[in-house]
């Protein structure tokens, strides 16, 4: 008899939030003329906190929460009444602006990452029990059968008709990208409401609008994947999305082996390519979320090569299984840590 123990799920417990503002950070130094509003709520399977500064922050925060809840209702895979739930159940159908945008970004990212990122991984997620059912370790034959249908290239997106065709057995899951997209949309809503300063934390996915009200950068701590509550370091940033993926965020243990929720589409197994966590910093929230998952799958060498080709789009912090921390050249000045780290150069 196999024994399955559910160790941790940050989506439910909420305390494994990857990035936290340090004490003395947001909220303590608001200029007197800027009012502050904060909101804690649960959406997209995780705890979220929005912190907004401005003339009418309450209205703005209401609008941002509404936008996140709208996207949650649209993109949730487990809700069969959501747009994505309906697409999966019916083998495709009509899609709205948001889903169309996410499909296009996701397919581009699959091509760009040579398949490390693939939203058609959903049937594999289900087999492992990360979606829906109970955690279990599928047989290799079962995984090989499911992998035959994991292929984002098989998606037929009819852009003009706002339609998606899903071949038989193909199902999609925006779990790797939805929170980043939602944070990006929430920031757009806040901007439209006249807000110039805000920090959003969508279950560890951080979005920064402008600077802190006093004009200085936000200071975001990057969690140590090995030690809850400890930090790899602190990055000072503004107008940026800071998104971390790690195998420690959602996993179960069976027979002493840990199985986590980021799958390698090449094997159908939890990715184990040398990384414990990947943090992406980018002005593009959707990209930051997608890449945090994709580069985790790739492992440190391929992630480094990928960054060198795309260093104009993002920076990153890698933490490897052997305990080495790497940061990229673009955040050399803004990253600080008590621990040793290596800087990946542009060349």
Binding site for ligand ADP (CB under 6 A): 117-119, 121, 125, 130, 173, 175-176, 245, 249-250, 261-263, 265, 289, 292-293, 297
Question: Whole-number minimum distance, CB 262 to Mg ion, in Å?
Answer: 8
119 versus 143: smaller Cβ distance to ligand ADP: 119
**How would you classify residue 273: left for phi > 0, otherwise alpha for psi between -120 and 50, otherwise beta?**
alpha
- How would you classify the pairing of strands 325-328 and 315-320? antiparallel
Query: Pick from ligand ADP, Mg ion, none: which does 125 bind, CB < 5 to 8 A by kind?
Result: ligand ADP
Give the x/- contact pattern for Mg ion in 238-267, rule: CB under 5 A.
-------x----------------------
Residue 253 bridge partners (DSSP): 5, 258
Question: Whole-number minimum distance, CB 114 to ligand ADP, in Å?
Answer: 12
Span of 36-44, 149-157, 281-289, 307-315 interacting with Mg ion by CB under 5 A: 281-289
Closest CA to 251 of 25, 2, 12, 58: 12
40 versus 55: smaller Cβ distance to ligand ADP: 40
213 versus 246: smaller Cβ distance to ligand ADP: 246
Q: What whole-number distance in Å separates Cα of residue 282 and Cα of residue 185?
A: 15
128 versus 335: smaller Cβ distance to ligand ADP: 128
Give the 3-state DSSP-derived string for 160-187, with helices as H, strands as E and coil as C. Answer: CCCEEECCCCCCCCCCCCHHHHHHHHHH
Q: Quick one: how far is CA 245 from the chain centroid? A: 6
Q: Can residue 292 be called a binding residue for Mg ion (CB under 5 A)?
A: yes
Q: Which residue is nearest to ligand ADP (CB)?
A: 175
Is the distance from CB of 270 to CB of 264 less than 8 angstroms? yes
Q: Which residue is nearest to Mg ion (CB)?
A: 293
Q: Which of 76, 273, 293, 334 binds Mg ion (CB under 5 A)?
A: 293
Question: Whole-number minimum distance, CB 174 to Mg ion, in Å?
Answer: 10
Q: What whole-number distance in Å separates Cα of residue 306 and Cα of residue 109?
A: 12
Query: Pick from ligand ADP, Mg ion, none: which does 250 bind, CB < 5 to 8 A by kind?
Result: ligand ADP
21 versus 293: smaller Cβ distance to Mg ion: 293
Question: Whole-number minimum distance, CB 176 to ligand ADP, in Å?
Answer: 3
Residue 5 bridge partners (DSSP): 253
9 versus 211: smaller Cβ distance to ligand ADP: 9
25 versus 285: smaller Cβ distance to Mg ion: 285
Q: Tell me whether residue 160 is exposed, middle or buried, using C-beta atoms within 10 angstroms of its C-beta: 0 to 12, 13 to 18, 19 or more.
A: exposed
Q: What whole-number distance in Å separates Cα of residue 11 and Cα of residue 6?
A: 13
Q: Quick one: how far is CA 294 from the chain centroid? A: 10
Q: What whole-number distance in Å separates Cα of residue 246 and Cα of residue 275?
A: 8
Question: Whole-number minimum distance, CB 29 to ligand ADP, in Å?
Answer: 29
Phi, psi values for residue 207, rounded to 5°: -125, 130
Question: Whole-number minimum distance, CB 296 to Mg ion, in Å?
Answer: 8
Q: Which of 171, 176, 277, 286 binds Mg ion (CB under 5 A)?
A: 176
Task: Point out which residues bind Mg ion (CB under 5 A).
Answer: 176, 245, 289, 292-293
């Amino acid at each position: 008899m196999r024994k399955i123990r559910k160790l941790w799920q940050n989506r439910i417990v909420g305390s494994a939030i990857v990035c936290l503002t340090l004490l003395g950070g947001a909220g303590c130094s608001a200029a007197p003329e800027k009012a502050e509003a904060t909101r804690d709520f649960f959406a997209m399977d995780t705890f979220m906190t929005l912190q907004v500064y401005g003339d009418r922050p309450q209205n703005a925060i209401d609008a941002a929460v509404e936008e996140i809840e709208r996207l949650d209702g649209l993109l949730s895979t487990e809700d069969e009444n959501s747009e994505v739930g309906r697409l999966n159940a019916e083998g495709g159908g009509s899609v709205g602006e948001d889903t169309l945008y996410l499909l296009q970004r996701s397919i581009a990212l699959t091509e760009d990452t040579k398949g490390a990122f693939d939203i058609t991984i959903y049937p594999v997620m289900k087999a492992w029990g990360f979606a829906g059912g109970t955690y279990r370790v599928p047989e290799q034959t079962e995984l090989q059968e499911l992998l035959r249908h994991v292929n984002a290239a098989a998606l037929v997106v009819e852009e003009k008709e706002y339609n998606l065709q899903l071949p038989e057995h193909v199902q999609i899951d925006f779990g790797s990208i939805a929170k980043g997209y939602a944070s990006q949309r929430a920031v757009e809503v806040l901007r439209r409401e006249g807000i110039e300063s805000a920090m959003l934390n969508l279950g560890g996915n951080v979005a920064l609008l402008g600077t802190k009200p006093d004009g200085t950068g936000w200071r975001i701590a990057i969690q140590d994947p090995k030690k809850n509550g400890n930090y790899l370091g602190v990055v000072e940033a503004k107008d940026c999305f800071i998104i971390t993926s790690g195998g420690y965020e959602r996993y179960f243990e069976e027979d002493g082996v840990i199985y986590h929720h980021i799958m390698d589409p090449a094997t159908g197994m939890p990715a184990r390519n040398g990384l414990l966590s990947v943090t992406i910093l980018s002005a593009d929230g959707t990209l930051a979320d997608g890449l945090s998952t994709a580069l985790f799958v790739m492992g440190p060498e391929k992630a480094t090569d990928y960054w060198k080709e795309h260093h104009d789009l993002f920076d990153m912090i890698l933490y490897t299984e052997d305990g080495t921390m790497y940061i990229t050249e673009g955040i050399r000045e803004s990253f600080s840590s008590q621990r040793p780290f290596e800087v990946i150069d542009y060349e």
